[in-house]
Each structure stands twice: as structure tokens, then as C-alpha cells.
Structure 1
Amino acid sequence: MKKNWMAALAGPFLPDAGMLFARLTGALLVLHVHGLPKLLHFSDELAHIDDPLHLGRAVTLYCALFAEIVCPLLVAAGLLTRLACLPLLFLLGVSMLLVHPDWSIADGQFGWLLIIVFGTIAISGAGRYSLDARLRLRA
């Protein structure tokens, strides 16, 4: 009997492969578009960064760097994944609701899509192809 190729694709690895894809692409996108430019142009960013929570520009920038560099690296590796999504979600929420409240959904679609991606990862976890899963197997 001929095997249905759709049934073969819907095997148990597919949801975990999807989570790996979401983790890697979302994390690398944030790192490339936001994190690395802030790090490479630190002085310029410090002079121009918004400070919506009134923590001071330096503290705000360091928090943004943590959320946009350290957390995406953790998410990509699948290490402390759910926890690493929280600063990203907080930063994105502050950005969308406090820094850019005048943006329409179309203007802020990149930010809203990142909230969807990292919210999904935070809810679902890293999946089988992650350091979280490997460490859980050893414990």
C-alpha cells in the first residue's frame, strides 16, 4: 500500500521541528535587527534611546541589550527558553504600548509578530530539539 506523504510529514518530529524553526528565526531576527546594531552603535543608541519607564537611558539600554542579545541566544539554543522569552515579551510590550502607542497595527506589525512568536515559544516551550530537552533527559 502506498504511503500517504502527508501522513509521513505529520510524524511526531514535526511540531518540534516547527518550534526549532520559530526559535531560531525569531531569535536571529531580533539579534540581527535590534541587538547587534545597538551593541555596535552603543554611544549613538545611548544618546537617542527612549526611556519610557524612567530608569535612565543607560539602564534602559543595558536592559534592551540583555533582552535583544542574551535572551535571543538562549532562545535559539533552547536553554531556559520560557524564562528567556519573558524579557523579550516585556521589551516588545513596552515598545509597542509605551514607546510607539501612535503606531497602527500595520505600522507595528513586526513588533506584534515578534510578540506572537515569542509568546508561542513561551507557552509551548522549546521542543525536543533544545538544550532544555537534553538537560531534562539527563536529570
Structure 2
Amino acid sequence: MGSVRLDLGLLFLRLGGAGLLLAVHGLPKALHFRQQLGLIEDPLHLGAWPTLGFAVFAEVLCPLLIALGWATRLACLPILGLLLIALLVVHPEWSLEQGQFGWLLLVLFGTLALTGPGRYSLEARLVRRHAAQGGFARALS
């Protein structure tokens, strides 16, 4: 029973975190890309387009992968990088209260990077399917 609760917790964490990041940050940037080009901070001096492109990648594509549970640990890394840059470089003057959403997302995606997606994920399903097919093929030989 404990394993089921843990996997349900990881599913809730994946869907909740991915949904929040996508809705609050990702979709507004993607849907208003041209407008956002004039607003985006460029702390690494890469240019507005590459900076915004990376932000959209980290805040749209990565949360979708995480919600599905596909390449979850890998998909957390761009998000973690983006959050650290935002909190430590772009907004170092923010108090803990002002940056609490970013810090909470950092904890959430850091946890998923450490744990992986859990049993209720596309990754786990494909691993189970592959193992079942391998087991079946061995039984035939």
C-alpha cells in the first residue's frame, strides 16, 4: 500500500508542478512570443530570442514531458537551471516571500529530478511492456 501512495504522490507532484509552470509561465510566453521578446531579461547576454526560446522550452516542452512521465529527470534539468538563473541572477533582490513560487518550483522539480516519475508514468509503462515482451520472447526460445 505504501508504494501505491508514493507513486500517486509522485503523479500528483508531476501533474501539479507541470500544470502550474505551464499555465503561469510557459503558455503566456509561448502565446505572446513576439511581445515577450521585448520584455524578457537576458542575464547571460545571449540575445532576446535564444533566451526566450530556452524559457519556452523549459516552461512548455519540459512540463509536458514531466506530466507524461517521459524523460522526467532529464526534463527537470532545464527547469532547475532556469529557476536558479531567475532567482539568483535576474532577481537577487527578491525576498524569500517575493520569490516563494520560484523556490517552491525549485523544490518540486528538484524532488522529481531525484526520484523520477514513479510507477504511473509513460516511462514505467514502457519499461514494463519491454520487460514483458522480453520475458515472452525468452519463453518462446
Q: Same fold (TM over 0.5)?
A: yes
Q: Runs (4+) of structure 1 moved beyond 2 Å?
A: none
- Offset at 1:35? 0.5
- Offset at 1:59? 0.3
Aligned residues: 130
Corresponding position of 1:63 = 54
Stretches of structure 2 lacking an aligned partner (at least 5 in a row): 131-141
Corresponding position of 1:112 = 103
- Offset at 1:44? 1.3
Identity %: 59
* Counterpart mapping for 1:21-60 below 5 A: 21-60=12-51
Corresponding position of 2:92 = 101
The counterpart of 1:128, out of the listed 108, 119, 135, is: 119
Worse-matched range after superposition: 112-121 or 10-19: 10-19
With normalisation by structure 2, the TM-score equals 0.90
Stretches of structure 1 lacking an aligned partner (at least 5 in a row): 1-9
Corresponding position of 1:85 = 76
2:77 maps to 1:75: no
- Offset at 1:18? 0.2
With normalisation by structure 1, the TM-score equals 0.91
What residue identity is the alignment partner of 2:86?
S
What residue identity is the alignment partner of 1:95?
A
What SS is found at the alignment partner of 1:55? coil
The CA RMSD over aligned residues, in Å, is 0.8
